[in-house]
C-alpha cells in the first residue's frame, strides 16, 4: 500500500475501504494472506542495517591503540624484527576475531529477545478470530481492537464502540481521540483530524473497534517517522557510559605509565629505541581492557536469554543490571500473587467448618451431598469443549463437584431446570426450580446468595439429616461464622432449598424465596500461588521488601498478605486503603510510606505515588502492572514489570520486563539472575583490571631496576591468552549460594564498589610482586653458569609466571568475597575449558621446541617450573587468606 493512499483512506466510506484493499468483513483467506505477505513483506519497521561479519571485523581496527600497535608492527618489520612483527599482527588479528565473535553472539541474543517481544494482533481470517504476530499482518486484514491494545498497522475503521485512541506519539496531542466512521471530507485535514483512521503503534485507551489494514510497515505514518529516526545515532545506556568513562580514565593513567617506561628505558640505555617503543605501546594496549564492553554486553545478553527460559522476558538489556539492585517489589495480587481462579476452600454444613477436600460431592446421601447438589442445581455454568465457561464463582462450585468425581452434565440431565429467578444486585440472590424425579411430582426450589440476605428468608435448618426450626440464636451463630470466614479473605455464599410439588404460579422473589430450609455455606477464595510464599521469604532474606497492591477490600488483602508472609497477622499498621492514601499529602505519605506493605482498594493511578515515595527514599523499585492505566507507574518505576498473559499491549510496551507466566516468583527469579549477572561482570572486571595492573607493575619495576624487560610479544601473548577466554567464562559462573542472602547493593553502587576497587589494587600488586620475585630468584639463584642463559631463563620464568599466575587468579575471581574451596569450584565447565585452553597456549610457547624461539624464551627445567607453579599457588592462597580476614571483619561489623 503506497504512502500517498493514506489521506485517501480517510476519505473512503467503510464499504469502499474494504473494496480498495480487496477485503471483506469476514477477513482474508489464508491463501490471500500468503500472497500479500510475499507482495508487501513483513509489517515491521526497518531497523538499522545489520552490519556484516566483514564490517564487524574491520571495525575492530578502528580503535586508536590497535592502530598504534599495527604501526609498531610495521616499524618492527622495517627494523629487521620480522618475527616480532608477525606475532604482533597475529595477536591483533586474533583479538579482532574474538571481538567479532563476542559482538555477533551478543547481537544474536538481542535479536532473539526482540523477536520474542513482538506484540500480537487479533484478526479475523476465514471468518474466525485468531491471534497472530503483528508483523504477519497484510493490507486487507481485519483487525479487532479493544482497550489496552497497541494498533498493529494503519487501519481504516469499519466498526467502533466508544473507541478512543491515544496518538500523542504522532500528533503531540495527549488527549485520546474519539474515533468515528464518517469519512473525512476535507482533503487538507491534519493527521490529528483523521478520526476514522487508527495509526500503527498508537494506544487504544477505551472502547473497542474493528478496522481494515490499509498500510503496513514502513508505509505507515509511524514508518515515516522510523525512517527519520533510523538516520540518528543511538544513545549509550548509563551502563555503557560508565564503562566508557572507566576506559577513558584507565587509558590516561596507563598511557602516562607507558611514557614513563619508554623514557626511563631509553635513559637506562639497555634497550633499543624500537624495542622500547614497542614495549611501551604493547604495555598500553595490554593494560587497557578494550574487550571489557564486549564482555559486559555478551554477559548481559546471555543473562537475558536465561531469564527468557525462566519466563522473564527482559525487553531492555541494561535492565538486567538494574534488577540486581532491586529494593522494593510492588506486585498486583490477582493473578500474580494468586492463581486468578476462584476455588472452594471451606464447606460449612451441620454447624462444622470443614476443609473442602475432606467433604463429599453431590452423589453423597448425607447433608454434605445435599449441599453439593445445590452447588450444581443453582448454577449457570456451561461446559464447552471440556472447558467450564461462566462466572468464576459458579465455575468454582462446579469444579468442586468434579474434584469429587461427580459428572455435572449427567447430574443436571437427571435434574433439569424448569424455572428460575435470575440473580440481581438488589436482592443478592439467585433461584432455580429443578425436577428431582422422572415423574415430575417432586421439585426443589434452590436459592443461593449473600448469607445475610438469604438467612432473612429461611425458617428451617437441616442438620445431621434432620430439619428443625431456625432460631434467632442459630441465625446469629451462622452470621458469626460468616464473618470469621470473610476475615480470612473467603467469599461466602449461603445455600437453601424448599421442596414443592408444582412450579410456582408466580416466579417472583416474594412468592418463591420464602420459607426456605438452610443447608450450608461455601467459602471460596482466589488461592495464593503455591510457590509465592517461598518467593516472598526469599525476597525478604535478600533484603527486598514485597508490597501487595490490589483493588480488593482491606480484609481480603490483609488475609492473603498474611498467608503469603508479606505482613504479620498482628500487623495493624501495614495496610492502607486508596481512600486513606488520598487523604495524605505527598509529604505525609513520603514520611509514612515505610509503614505500609499492603495497599487495598487502590486505583492504578495510586501506583505512581507509591513508586515516587519509595524512590525518594533512595530505593530501587520494581512495579507490576497489566492495564492501560498502569503504564505511567511502569515507566516511573526503575523496573516496570508487565504481565504476559493478562497484560495489555500498552502495559507490556511500557515495561522493562514481561512475565510470561504472570507469576510473582518469576520476579524473584529474575532478581536472582540480575544479581548473578552483576556479580559475574564484577568478577570479570576485577580479574581483568588486576591482571592488567600486574602487567604494568612488572614492566614498570623491571624498567626502573634496569633489568632486561619482557618483550612486546610476551605482553601481547599473555594479554590475548589470559584476558579473552577466562574473562568470558567468568560471565557464565553459576550464582553463589548466598547471593539471595545479601542485601541490595543500593542505587549508588557500581562495578568497583563493594571492595572491588581495593581488591583490584592489592591483587594487581600481588601478581606483579610475585612475578618480580620469581625473576629475582632466577637471577640470584641460577641453575646455569652462563650469564646469557641465566638472564634468558629469568625472563622466561617471569613470562611464564605472569601468564600462569593470572590463570590461577581466575579461580580467585570466581567469588569476590567468598572462598573458592567449595563443591562449585569446577562446576562451570566453560571456565574449566577456558583455563585449560589458555594454559596449553601459554605453555606451548615455552615447551615446544622451535616455537619457543619465536617468543624469545627458553625451555625450563622441572625445578624452574615448580617455582613458577608455586607462585601461582601462592597467589590463590594469599588471596583466599585476605578474603577470609575480609569476611571476619564484615561479620564483626
Phi, psi of 818 (to 5 degrees): -80, 160
For residues 835 and 804, what is the distance between their CA atoms, to the nearest angstrom? 10
Phi-psi region of 126 (alpha: psi -120 to 50; beta: other; left: phi over 0): left
Residues in the chain: 893
Q: What would the DSSP string read from start to end of 633-646?
A: HHHHSSEEEEETTT
Using CA atoms, how far residue 258 sits from 278, 399, 700, in Å, is 10, 77, 8
First CA to last CA distance, the chain: 69
Largest distance between two CA atoms of the chain: 124
- Is 332 noted as a catalytic residue in this protein? yes
For residues 300 and 283, what is the distance between their CA atoms, to the nearest angstrom? 29
Outline where 269-324 has alpha helix (H).
273-287, 292-309, 319-323
Q: Which residues contact 151 (CB under 8 A, 6 or more apart)?
A: 143, 145, 165, 198, 199, 200, 201, 202, 203, 204
Q: Which residues contact 240 (CB under 8 A, 6 or more apart)?
A: 293, 318
Any idea which residue has 605453555 for its cell?
A: 843
**Cα–chain center distance at 145:** 27
Using CA atoms, how far residue 257 sits from 64, 696, 803, in Å, is 17, 8, 21
For residues 222 and 201, what is the distance between their CA atoms, to the nearest angstrom? 7
Buried b (16+ CB within 10 A) or exposed e, 694-723: bbbbbbbbbbeeebbbbbbbbbbbbbbbbb
Using CA atoms, how far residue 109 sits from 30, 56, 291, 307, 682, in Å, is 32, 16, 18, 12, 21
313 CB-contact burial (10 Å; exposed 0-12 / middle 13-18 / buried 19+)? buried
Instruction: Report helix, strand or coil for 333.
Output: coil
| Residue 623: other Cβ atoms inside 10 A | 28
Q: Are 783 and 864 in contact (CB under 8 A)?
A: yes
Q: What is the CA radius of gyration of the chain?
A: 36
Q: Residue 235 half-sphere exposure, CB side, CA atoms within 13 Å?
A: 3
C-alpha cell at 709: 624487560
- Say which DSSP state 501 is in: S
| Residue 178: other Cβ atoms inside 10 A | 13
Q: What would the DSSP string read from start to end of 118-133?
A: --EEEEEETTEEEEEE
Q: Which of 327, 332, 638, 793 is catalytic?
A: 332
Any idea which residue has 468442586 for its cell?
A: 400
According to DSSP, the residues that pair with 125 across neighbouring strands are 28, 128
Is the CA virtual torsion 496, 499, 503, 509 positive or negative?
A: negative
For residues 776 and 218, what is the distance between their CA atoms, to the nearest angstrom? 68
For residues 601 and 578, what is the distance between their CA atoms, to the nearest angstrom? 5
Would you please indicate which residues are annotated as catalytic (active-site) residues?
Answer: 332
Amino acid at each position: 500500500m503506497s504512502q500517498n493512499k493514506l489521506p485517501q483512506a480517510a476519505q473512503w466510506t467503510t464499504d469502499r475501504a474494504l473494496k480498495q484493499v480487496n477485503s471483506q468483513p469476514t477477513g482474508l483467506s489464508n491463501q490471500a494472506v500468503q500472497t500479500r505477505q510475499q507482495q508487501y513483506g513483513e509489517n515491521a519497521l526497518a531497523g538499522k542495517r545489520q552490519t556484516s561479519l566483514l564490517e564487524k571485523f574491520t571495525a575492530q581496527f578502528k580503535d586508536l591503540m590497535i592502530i598504534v600497535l599495527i604501526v609498531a608492527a610495521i616499524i618492527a618489520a622495517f627494523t629487521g624484527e620480522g618475527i616480532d612483527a608477525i606475532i604482533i599482527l597475529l595477536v591483533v588479528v586474533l583479538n579482532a576475531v574474538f571481538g567479532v565473535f563476542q559482538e555477533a553472539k551478543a547481537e544474536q541474543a538481542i535479536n532473539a529477545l526482540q523477536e520474542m517481544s513482538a506484540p500480537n494482533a487479533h484478526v479475523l481470517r476465514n471468518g474466525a478470530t485468531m491471534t497472530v504476530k503483528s508483523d504477519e499482518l497484510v493490507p486487507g486484514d481485519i483487525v479487532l481492537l479493544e482497550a489496552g491494545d497497541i494498533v498493529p498497522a494503519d487501519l481504516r475503521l469499519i466498526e467502533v464502540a466508544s473507541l478512543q485512541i491515544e496518538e500523542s506519539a504522532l500528533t503531540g496531542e495527549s488527549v485520546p481521540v474519539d474515533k468515528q466512521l464518517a469519512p473525512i471530507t476535507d482533503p487538507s485535514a491534519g493527521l490529528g483530524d483523521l478520526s476514522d483512521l487508527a495509526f500503527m503503534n498508537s494506544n487504544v485507551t477505551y472502547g473497542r473497534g474493528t478496522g481494515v489494514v490499509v498500510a503496513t510497515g514502513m508505509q505507515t505514518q509511524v514508518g515515516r517517522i522510523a525512517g527519520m529516526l533510523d538516520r540518528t545515532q543511538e544513545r549509550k545506556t548509563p551502563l555503557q557510559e560508565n564503562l566508557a568513562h572507566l576506559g577513558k580514565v584507565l587509558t590516561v593513567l596507563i598511557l602516562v605509565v607507558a611514557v614513563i617506561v619508554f623514557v626511563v628505558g631509553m635513559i637506562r640505555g639497555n634497550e633499543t629505541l624500537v624495542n622500547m617503543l614497542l614495549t611501551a605501546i604493547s604495555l598500553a594496549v595490554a593494560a587497557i581492557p578494550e574487550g571489557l564492553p564486549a564482555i559486559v554486553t555478551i554477559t548481559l545478553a546471555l543473562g537475558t536469554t536465561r531469564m527468557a527460559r525462566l519466563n522473564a522476558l527482559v525487553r531492555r538489556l541494561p535492565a538486567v543490571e538494574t534488577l540486581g539492585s532491586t529494593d522494593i517489589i510492588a506486585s498486583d495480587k490477582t493473578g500474580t500473587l494468586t492463581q486468578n481462579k476462584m476455588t472452594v476452600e471451606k464447606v460449612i454444613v451441620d454447624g462444622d467448618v470443614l476443609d473442602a477436600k475432606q467433604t463429599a460431592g453431590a452423589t453423597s446421601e448425607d447433608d454434605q451431598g445435599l449441599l453439593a447438589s445445590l452447588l450444581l442445581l443453582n448454577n449457570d455454568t456451561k461446559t464447552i469443549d471440556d472447558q467450564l465457561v461462566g462466572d468464576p464463582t459458579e465455575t468454582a462450585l462446579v469444579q468442586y463437584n468434579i474434584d469429587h468425581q461427580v459428572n455435572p452434565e449427567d447430574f443436571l440431565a437427571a435434574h433439569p431446570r424448569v424455572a428460575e429467578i435470575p440473580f440481581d444486585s438488589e436482592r443478592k440472590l439467585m433461584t432455580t426450580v429443578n425436577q428431582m424425579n422422572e415423574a415430575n411430582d417432586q421439585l426443589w426450589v434452590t436459592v443461593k446468595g449473600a448469607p445475610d440476605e438469604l438467612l432473612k428468608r429461611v425458617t428451617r435448618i437441616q442438620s445431621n439429616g434432620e430439619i428443625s426450626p431456625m432460631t434467632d440464636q442459630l441465625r446469629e451463630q451462622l452470621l458469626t461464622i460468616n464473618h470469621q470466614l470473610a476475615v480470612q479473605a473467603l467469599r461466602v455464599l449461603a445455600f437453601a432449598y424448599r421442596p414443592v410439588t408444582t412450579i410456582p404460579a408466580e416466579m417472583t422473589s416474594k412468592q418463591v424465596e420464602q420459607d426456605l430450609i438452610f443447608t450450608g455455606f461455601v467459602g471460596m477464595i482466589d488461592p495464593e500461588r503455591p510457590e509465592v510464599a517461598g518467593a516472598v521469604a526469599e525476597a525478604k532474606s535478600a533484603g527486598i521488601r514485597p508490597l501487595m497492591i490490589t483493588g480488593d477490600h482491606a480484609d481480603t488483602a490483609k488475609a492473603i498478605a498474611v498467608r503469603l508472609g508479606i505482613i504479620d497477622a498482628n500487623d495493624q499498621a501495614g495496610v492502607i486503603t486508596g481512600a486513606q492514601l488520598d487523604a495524605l499529602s505527598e509529604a505525609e505519605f513520603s514520611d509514612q510510606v515505610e509503614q505500609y506493605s499492603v495497599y487495598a482498594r487502590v486505583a492504578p493511578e495510586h501506583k505512581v505515588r507509591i513508586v515516587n515515595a519509595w524512590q525518594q527514599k533512595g530505593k530501587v523499585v520494581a512495579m507490576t502492572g497489566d492495564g492501560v492505566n498502569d503504564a505511567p507507574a511502569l515507566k516511573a518505576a526503575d523496573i516496570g514489570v508487565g504481565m504476559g498473559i493478562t497484560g495489555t499491549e500498552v502495559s507490556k510496551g511500557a515495561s522493562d520486563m514481561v512475565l510470561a507466566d504472570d507469576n510473582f516468583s518469576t520476579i524473584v527469579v529474575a532478581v536472582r539472575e540480575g544479581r548473578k549477572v552483576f556479580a559475574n561482570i564484577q568478577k570479570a572486571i576485577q580479574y581483568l583490571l588486576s591482571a592488567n595492573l600486574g602487567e604494568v607493575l612488572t614492566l614498570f619495576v623491571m624498567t626502573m631496576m634496569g633489568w632486561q624487560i619482557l618483550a612486546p610479544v610476551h605482553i601481547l601473548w599473555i594479554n590475548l591468552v589470559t584476558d579473552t577466554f577466562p574473562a568470558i567464562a567468568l560471565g557464565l559462573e553459576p550464582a553463589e549460594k548466598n547471593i539471595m542472602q545479601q542485601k541490595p547493593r543500593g542505587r549508588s553502587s557500581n562495578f568497583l564498589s563493594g571492595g572491588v576497587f581495593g581488591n583490584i589494587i592489592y591483587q594487581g600488586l600481588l601478581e606483579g610482586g610475585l612475578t618480580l620475585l620469581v625473576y629475582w630468584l632466577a637471577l640470584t639463584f641460577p641453575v646455569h653458569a652462563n650469564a646469557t642463559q641465566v638472564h634468558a631463563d629469568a625472563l622466561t620464568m617471569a613470562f611464564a609466571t605472569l601468564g600462569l599466575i593470572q590463570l590461577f587468579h581466575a579461580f580467585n575471581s570466581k567469588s569476590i568475597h567468598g572462598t573458592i574451596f567449595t563443591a562449585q569450584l569446577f562446576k562451570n565447565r566453560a571456565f574449566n575449558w577456558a583455563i585449560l585452553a589458555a594454559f596449553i597456549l601459554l605453555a606451548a610457547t615455552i615447551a615446544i621446541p622451535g616455537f619457543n624461539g619465536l617468543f624469545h624464551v627458553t625451555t625450563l627445567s622441572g625445578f624452574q617450573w615448580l617455582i613458577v607453579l608455586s607462585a601461582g599457588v601462592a597467589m590463590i592462597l594469599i588471596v583466599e587468606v585476605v578474603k577470609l580476614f575480609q569476611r571476619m571483619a564484615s561479620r564483626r561489623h
